[in-house]
Amino acid sequence: MRILIAPDKFKGTLSALEVAENIAAGLR
């Protein structure tokens, strides 16, 4: 199972990459 995480609308304290990593970590 592959999940593509590509947030591009998160602005402010977290970069899109950090948000994606946090979401990925939360899914594990």
Q: Looking at residue 5, what is its pLDDT?
A: 66
Residue 12 CB neighbour total at 10 angstroms:
5
User: What is the pLDDT, as a whole number, of residue 1?
Assistant: 65
As for how many domains the chain has, the answer is: 1
- Confidence category of residue 21, pLDDT binned at 50, 70, 90: confident
Parent domain of 7 = 1-27
Kindly state the DSSP code that residue 5 receives in the 8-state scheme. Answer: -
pTM, entire model = 0.40
* Percentage of the residues of the chain whose pLDDT score is greater than 90: 0
Cα–Cα distance list, 17 to 10, 20, 25 (Å) = 10, 5, 12
pLDDT at 24: 84
* Better-predicted residue by pLDDT, 21 or 14: 21
